[in-house]
Amino acid sequence: MLKEKKAKIIDGIAEDLARSTVIIATGYQGMTAKDMAQLRQLLYRAGTDFRVVKNTLTRLAADKANKPQVMSLVEGPVALAFGYGDIVEPARVLSQYIKSTSAVLQIKGALLGDQVLSADGVQDLARLPPRDVLLSRLVGQLQAPVRRLHNVLSSPFQGLLTSLQAIIKR
């Protein structure tokens, strides 16, 4: 490869490393080109880029992007999924793809911020509910004490109202 072309590839990987919120490392050996194209489409719809990377170029890009933790995931033939938005969606898409197609794709681990996750950690991440469900649960938990306080404070008035209605009906 020409030196300029390698520099351009390193810059591209470094930019992806810097922009991404989650980076999932996968072992892709044994997958057909058709399977790879199908997986790339699924991940693209989820706002994730999926690319096969060379380890030496990734090492240089990781140094350039100040993400040396990535190198603990890059061993042997590796493809990286770069998630730019929701951190759960790339893990969910990869996990569902593996289950639905019985593909030979293996999840090796992930980098979430500065934290390195194992393959089991990525599976746990994939099992999380979507972001909007988590937010609605949080709002429900925040509203619960206020709702209980309202019920306690309005209970005497409800009793008085019931008594007055019973008197009126007589």
Please tell me whether residues 122 and 169 are part of one structural domain: no
Size of the chain, expressed as the number of residues it contains: 170
CATH number of the domain to which 57 belongs: 3.30.70.1730
Model pLDDT for residues 33-68, shown as the tens digit of each residue: 888 888 889 888 888 889 888 888 988 898 888 888
User: Which residue range forms the structural domain that includes residue 24?
Assistant: 3-128
What pLDDT shows up at residue 146? 77
Burial of 63 (0-12, 13-18, 19+ CB in 10 A): middle
Tokens of 90: 């790339």
| Counted domains in the chain | 2
pLDDT for res 1: 57
Cα–Cα dist 68/63, whole Å:
6
Q: Specify the pLDDT at position 74.
A: 87
φ, ψ of residue 94 in degrees (nearest 5): -65, -45
What's the CA gap between 99 and 156, in Å, rounded? 56
* pLDDT at 154 (0 to 100): 74
What pLDDT, on the 0 to 100 scale, is given for residue 24? 92
Residues of the chain with pLDDT under 70: 1
The C-alpha atoms of residue 64 and residue 69 are separated, in whole angstroms, by 12
Same domain, 121 and 142: no
